[in-house]
Structure 1
């Protein structure tokens, strides 16, 4: 979606939403100090959204890049707390799942409707450690492709440690990627 992609190179918006635990969660990627993945999804407990959320859950536990880079993952949908909590518990999701019941986060991130305007769009944002949006992946039907696109983006980042100090990326020259940069993801 063109609107969301206009955020590439810009500071990721900070929003405060209620999480699946019922507590306020301040999503402020600029203060995270680590790569942040924010995935907007249409509805908890649906087939595609379960596939997407579980692909991030599985990557967080099995993909070394997620561990090495200490990636923060946050999911956002318009679901109420009770539904989001049921979803989190049923799927064993180890990351914050936020409830955007008023649509304020979708508005801040310029996420509209998908599938010909029939449902909320499925859009994933890759935000660098300084809080700058570096990649936006938008696909309502390719559920697991979102995680694959994130993994490709993470592979472009410098690994922490002494070698990263001399890396060109350490000087803030991270590549600006969008979903077209990833090519077909299956």
Structure 2
């Protein structure tokens, strides 16, 4: 499968009505926390219900999700009233947004799923705390892979942050004693003189 065009780029901000009737604006990077943005085909279908509930349970039960303060946002093309029913029935604790006009799908390059049979493919975007799209999982059939995908990336981000925190920061005006100084590179003029000597 071809690499998604948004990987390594800033995630587009979106503003959509939520199941609660309010307009939600998602601006990746603004809050300084990672975001898992998952597009799903249909509120209330078997796979979508399982996926949505797995994200709900991960937020409630997994320490990793709590520590990283990850934002979970669900998006489908369902109208607000259908999503409201879905959110209330499944007791979802995160925003579920209605992309009835397809604006978010267009911004995030999300096509149809199941060879065109599903209005929206099941696609999860993992966006880091700076608003950069780090990875994308596109699998409509394997609904349970999406929480695992987000868990893997949260682990990776934590490891990156830990490594960055452990790296000794040099004092202002000083170079770290442990860092070997790079050898000076010869200038073009010096290289030219050396070449002349060789030719002579």
TM-score class, shorter: 0.7 to 0.9
Give the aligned partner of residue 133 of structure 1: 133
Is 1:53 the equivalent of 2:52?
Answer: yes
SS at match of 1:30: coil
Q: 2 CA distance for matches of 1:49 and 1:157?
A: 26
Give the aligned partner of residue 121 of structure 1: 121
Give the aligned partner of residue 25 of structure 2: 26
Larger Rg belongs to: 2
Instruction: Kindly report the root-mean-square deviation, in angstroms, between the aligned alpha carbons of the 2 structures.
Output: 2.0
Give the aligned partner of residue 8 of structure 2: 9
1:39–1:162: structure 2 CA closer, same or farther, 3 Å change rule? closer
Q: 1 CA distance for matches of 2:26 and 2:116?
A: 27
Structure 2: 5+ residue stretches without partners: 169-200
Q: How does 1:153-168 map to 2 (within 5 A)?
A: 153-158=153-158, 165-166=165-166
SS at match of 2:115: coil
TM-score normalised by length of structure 2 = 0.79
SS at match of 2:146: helix
Q: Runs ≥4 in structure 1, deviation > 2 angstroms?
A: 158-168
Is 1:79 the equivalent of 2:78?
Answer: yes
Q: 2 CA distance for matches of 1:74 and 1:25?
A: 10
1:163–1:143: structure 2 CA closer, same or farther, 3 Å change rule? same
**Alpha-carbon offset, residue 167 of structure 1:** 5.6
Q: Deviations over 1:81-116 (max 9, x none)?
A: 110000000001000000000000000000001111
Q: How does 1:164-179 map to 2 (within 5 A)?
A: 165-166=165-166
**Alpha-carbon offset, residue 165 of structure 1:** 2.2
Give the aligned partner of residue 173 of structure 1: none
TM-score normalised by length of structure 1 = 0.84
Q: 1 CA distance for matches of 2:167 and 2:81?
A: 45
**Alpha-carbon offset, residue 157 of structure 1:** 1.1
Q: 1 CA distance for matches of 2:36 and 2:46?
A: 21
Q: 2 CA distance for matches of 1:99 and 1:16?
A: 10
